[in-house]
Every structure is written in C-alpha cells, then in structure tokens.
Amino acid sequence: MTIDVTSRQRIEIINIGGEVARAVAESGVEEGICVLQSLHTTAALSVNESADPDVKKDLLRQLALLAPRDPSFLHAEGNSDAHIKTSLLGPSLSLVVSGGRPLLGAWQTIYFCEFDGPRRRQVVVKCVKG
C-alpha cells in the first residue's frame, strides 16, 4: 500500500500516524512487522512525541544547526541540507504490529519529515505476519 503525503512548506513535519494505522488495518496483519519507506532522498520518517508541538519545532531547529542550508555545498540542486537531514533521520521505519495496529507508546506517532518541499510524496507500507 502507498500513502500519499502533500507538504506545503520547504521543511515540515507531518503526522501520518492515522494513515499508517489504516494501512496496517487494511493489510489484515494482526501480529507481525510493518515496514515504512519514503520513496524520496529528501524526506525522512520518524517516530516521536505527538503531545507537545514544541518537540517538532525543537527537532527542526537542531537539524537546521546540524545541516544548515549552505550555498557552498557542491550539489547543483541546492538542496544538500535536505539530503543530509534525510540521511540523519533515515528514509524507513520498522514497527511492531500487535492487535492489528502499529505498536506505539502513549505519546508516540509516526512523522513524515519533509526537507525539500512543498511536494507530493509517497510512503510505501508493507506489513508481514510474524
């Protein structure tokens, strides 16, 4: 299954936890593993806190310090910072499936992390019985 994500800003963290939960439910897998993969080199996936929106702001601020937009980067498209941020967080996640749902902590959700938007993006979801 594929989840479509549309970002509206160059850098944005989008909660896709509900879409992932629906994809897992539709897969019919009750117990197993769910793998999520962004199909893009400038967008990552992350599991993090969903209760306090400042967590997303802090994460983006620190990533900007680690990989600022820098005109001295050699990559011709001018988005090397986005590639670096994606490499730091990673383009995929593996989640335990239990009771037909992704197994997450009380405050956790699944985020799509856009670093070179706005764009239309895709996340592939594959669930395996285990």
Task: Enter the pTM of the model.
Answer: 0.94
% of the chain exceeding 70 in pLDDT: 100
Burial category of 74 from C-beta neighbours within 10 Å (exposed 0-12, middle 13-18, buried 19 and up): exposed
Give the Cα separation of 113 and 90 in Å (integer): 10
Q: Where are the domains of the chain?
A: 2-129
Residue 69 has pLDDT above 90, yes or no: no
- According to the model, what pLDDT value does residue 75 have? 86
pLDDT in tens, 77-103: 878 999 999 999 999 999 999 999 999
**54-65 tens-digit pLDDT:** 999 999 999 999
Task: Report, at the CATH architecture level, how domain 2-129 is classified.
Answer: Sandwich (2.60)
Check residue 76 and give its pLDDT: 74
